[in-house]
Structure 1
Amino acid sequence: MYLKITGIVLIMMSASLMGYLFSKDYIERINRLEQIQKMLILLKGEISYSNNSVQEALENISEMIEGKVGEFVTKVQESFKKSEIPLSVAWSLGVDNIFDKKSSLKSEDKNSLKDFGRGLGITDRQTQINNIEKYQSQIQLTIKELKEEKNEKCKLYRMLGITCGAFLGIVLI
């Protein structure tokens, strides 16, 4: 009897924990997109005000950004510098390697980041700046939508986890 109760409690706790983990992943996605937005601001500043090329700008901002996005910029910059591949390929490989399936970013976030990278380093400064501004506005809109839904979705994830755990506990009784 005690073993059955212990099992039910463990199932309820693990289902509740899953809800909290989904909630945390949602918040982490918002934070990661904000880090990417910060990277874009720094990249735009390096290109427009310092008159650096995209390669030099990436090298300069790789030291300023922390976390996964900083690791991403460093990886792109290093792989572009060491090998003879185009910047767009290095960018795409960086997205695939750093923001893998375990990342909090959704596939549409990764695809739009790859699309942005395809245009890097192949046009003039003003076009680069325009592309950065366009992608910035796209990310800003995504962040705004995610923040508006944040409280509802996080609460929903947590409640679903608790409810599923309680339902499984009742079914097993």
Structure 2
Amino acid sequence: MSRKAVAARIAQPYAEALLEISSKNNTVSSVTEDIKIVSDTLANSQELSQFFANPLIDVFTKKKLLEKVFDQKINVSLLNFLMILTDKKRINMVESILEKFLEIAYTATNVTLAKVITSTTLSNEQQQALIEKIKLMTQATEVRLSLQVDTSLIGGFSIQIGSQIIDTSLRGQLQQMASHLDIKL
């Protein structure tokens, strides 16, 4: 089983637990918005992601940093959830867990989540055009984009909707050509 499959399998029950807590507290929409804050913060700071992934750093230190970074910025129940993940030594999987939460929450509300990785930042007009194309492709009533910039793509973008991946990046096209020619890149 691949690392990604294992991470998804572990993330599922944690994401479901967060959704259950959020539903009981009637805070699903605020937790969903706050998850974007946490995800963006981690995506924009390689050092922070590495800090939480480091097994040599003790739980107390990680919890102090979580509090320092996210206190007063996110819902208390989400912050407590992050503390529990830290106690259970699963904070290194926080990105997978939060992604799975969004997937489950959006499925329940008939919203399609599209993870978009681009070589440059998309303008608002480009984002809207992409949302409209994805709506046509998926027949979704609403589409939410999870945007990430990866300069190693060279140009273009890749979109992940559920298990389907559409890769129009130059890097992806080069890798596809290399696999057809049996060349390692």
TM-score by length of structure 2 reads: 0.28
Instruction: Identify the structure with bigger relative contact order (alpha carbons < 8 Å, sequence gap 6+).
Output: 1
Write 1 or 2 for the structure with the bigger share of helix. 1
Larger radius of gyration: 1
Write 1 or 2 for the structure with the bigger share of strand. 2
